[in-house]
Amino acid sequence: MRIATFLIVLVSLAGWSAQTRAQLVSEWRMDESSWSGTPGEVIDSAGGNDGTARTAGSDNSLPDTEPAQVCRGGRFRGQGYNLPEPPWYVDAQHYVHIPDGNSLSPLDSAEEMSLGGWFRISAGNGTLVHKGDGGASQEYRVYTSGNRLRLQLWNRWGSPADITLSNQNLATETWYFFTATVERLGNSPNVRVRGYLFDENGQLGGVSQDVVSLDYTNKNTSGDFYFGGVSYGSNPVDFFDGTLDEFRLYESVQSSADISNHWSVTRPCEDEESGRIFSYFMEETQWTGAAGEVEDTSGNELNATAVGGADTGNDEPAIPGSPGTCRYADTSSAGQRITAPASTLVNDADTFSVAGWVRMPDEVQTNATPSIIAYGNTVNGQWPERYEVYMDRNYTFSWPYGFIDAWTFVVRKSNGNLQFMRVPVLPDAAENPLSGTWVHFVAVYDSGSDDARLYLNGSLAGDIGLSGPNGLEDATGGLGVMAHPGGQYNAQGFIDEVYMFGSALDAAEVDELYQDTRPCETGYDHIRLIHPETGLTCSPSTITVKACADAACAPYDEPVEVDFTSPAASWTPDPVTFTDSTQVSLQYTTPGLVTIDAVAIDPPAINQT
């Protein structure tokens, strides 16, 4: 003990098709600190369609990242460039290559798509995005020509339709944002194309609209995906000279509001002063205790390990919806925690910030001072070697509230002395995770000013000056999340979005972190109901229920729960939990048209069918 002073599915027997909601397939933020040609280095944060920086030129120059519209973006020197000294000229035919994947062909799988992102032209015309590798494998291409933004769509025979997305005259060194939406018109070969163009101040002109014939029967979609060039079957050509940023691909049509939201997106950015030391988003679908399975997304490869059966969940995220905070760590049983090895990056950061979302109901706690995040081995059975954030339950008595709790932030100075900061909170306060509410916290220590600050739910909750040397004790032990690294002072609850920065975040950065979200994956695409295509009689009808991992209904091999709501009280069993597929009985004897209604409960599906 330590003491201190399937979303709803609507189908009828007359027709089993339904429209799909707009869903994110891929998102390439291009926020990596640099590209070097390492396979998969250009991260797709939504769908796993990662890319690799490449060149078709005679030099070894590669595209790289630079500060862009939202944090960093990809700089493509597609036209080559001169140097003031030998070799005088660099043959920089830059592009990013992404291997083919079914999800990159949404017009084929879902009969609609949206593609958009930011671009800035440095010189000439060129290709922003292309899907295809020549011949009939060509699918879509966004490019500039004659200072206009254009789209090409290829039919099953490899013949293109050319569409001008905007008649705006594009200027160099100006940031533009575009979105192109494409949707099949009924059962016809025609598709409707809409084009949206913005600059940094807002939308430019109206929405362009064209209808073109596009026969996709048995379409070849085997071509790869490219940023910065177009591939006709060998090395790419028509290279883009400029910067690309924040590209998204959807498998259906985005609304004007959705497009505006994409245009206006912001988030905290890394830089040399406030770059992440580690960040754990807890997005893995399952943890088994394997070493390093909890991914550090900072790029520093400080991957962590789930201990004691800790796993991830998605039933009650801190910020629901998509985008949201998505999955989170579940350490609700005693002994469950997350650990990571020691790192010199932490010991080198005497100024730092740690942050996360946490929920830890008081009634399940087994420790008086449950630890949220701690760094270093436990010293004399009490506090860790370097720093800790924890809750002090029943910290003090305060009339008329009774016992109240306190957030506690402690650092160990280089002379071994501990310095504390406490922020009392009422038992039922929105800033108290012991109330069972998600709370966002950021604890900051600035060694330059010897100042400690605590932010709760985006607002400053405490700010005090400390004493003693400004440096901190180096830790020989590593990181503990929801307990000390060795398991002491275990907290039962849930935690997400755990960060450490090598700087003292300011109020604006804290607020951005508090509001930060990302697109979420549920793990499977939709629930499919298969009826024997016979009318209902007095005898039960057998309905096959399938959990589909993708639009083509590949099997989903994890348990799902489905509730049947219409016709009410007519299904057996109801609800049903299954893996891959199962069969249920439907008995309904009232004459007339029957509408079948089911809800995917846990987890929810991405789409309805």
CATH number at residue 169: 2.60.120.200
Statement to judge: residues 37 and 127 lie in one domain = yes
Which among 102, 140, 111 is positioned nearest to 25, based on CA atoms?
102
pLDDT at 16: 24
Structural domains in the chain (count): 3
pLDDT at 268: 64
Query: Domain for residue 49, yes or no?
Result: yes
Which among 138, 204, 148 is positioned nearest to 171, based on CA atoms?
148
Statement to judge: residues 249 and 353 lie in one domain = no
Write out pLDDT tens, residues 230-246: 998 878 999 999 999 99
- Whole-number Å distance between alpha carbons of 514 and 453: 15
Statement to judge: residues 355 and 472 lie in one domain = yes
Res 159 pLDDT > 50: yes
Statement to judge: residues 31 and 169 lie in one domain = yes
Q: Confirm if 78 and 125 have CB atoms less than 8 A apart.
A: no
What residues are paired with 127 via a beta bridge? 143
Range of the domain at 212: 24-75+87-254
Statement to judge: residues 204 and 325 lie in one domain = no
pLDDT at 298: 86
Res 602 pLDDT > 80: no
Statement to judge: residues 409 and 544 lie in one domain = no
pLDDT at 17: 26
Residue at a domain's end among 187, 220, 254: 254
Residue at a domain's end among 461, 486, 515: 515
Statement to judge: residues 444 and 588 lie in one domain = no
Which among 53, 52, 57, 54 is positioned nearest to 80, based on CA atoms?
57
Res 3 pLDDT > 60: no
- Over pLDDT 70: what percentage of the chain? 93
pLDDT at 596: 79
Write out pLDDT tens, residues 52-76: 999 998 888 899 998 899 989 999 9
Statement to judge: residues 532 and 509 lie in one domain = no
Q: What is the pTM of this model?
A: 0.54
Q: Confirm if 63 and 95 have CB atoms less than 8 A apart.
A: yes
Residue at a domain's end among 223, 254, 285: 254
Give the least confident one: 454-458, 465-469, 527-531, 566-570: 566-570
pLDDT at 270: 60
pLDDT at 1: 59
Which among 61, 130, 129 is positioned nearest to 93, based on CA atoms?
61
Res 520 pLDDT > 90: no
Provide the pLDDT confidence category of residue 272 given band limits of 50, 70 and 90. very low
Query: Domain for residue 13, yes or no?
Result: no
pLDDT at 19: 31
- The set of residues, in sequence order, having a beta carbon less than 8 Å from that of 196 and lying 6+ positions away, is 116, 165, 166, 178, 179, 180, 181, 203, 207, 256, 259
Statement to judge: residues 173 and 250 lie in one domain = yes
Res 5 pLDDT > 80: no
Taking all residues of the chain, what is their mean pLDDT, rounded to a whole number? 88
Res 312 pLDDT > 80: yes
Write out pLDDT tens, residues 349-405: 999 999 999 999 999 999 999 999 999 999 999 999 999 999 999 998 888 888 899
Alpha carbon dihedral 166, 164, 206, 103, in 10-degree steps, equals -100
Mean pLDDT to the nearest integer, 186-199: 96
pLDDT at 417: 95
Highest mean pLDDT, choosing among 19-23, 35-39, 480-484: 480-484
Statement to judge: residues 40 and 120 lie in one domain = yes
- Between 460 and 526, name the one with better pLDDT: 460
Mean pLDDT to the nearest integer, 504-528: 84
pLDDT at 420: 96
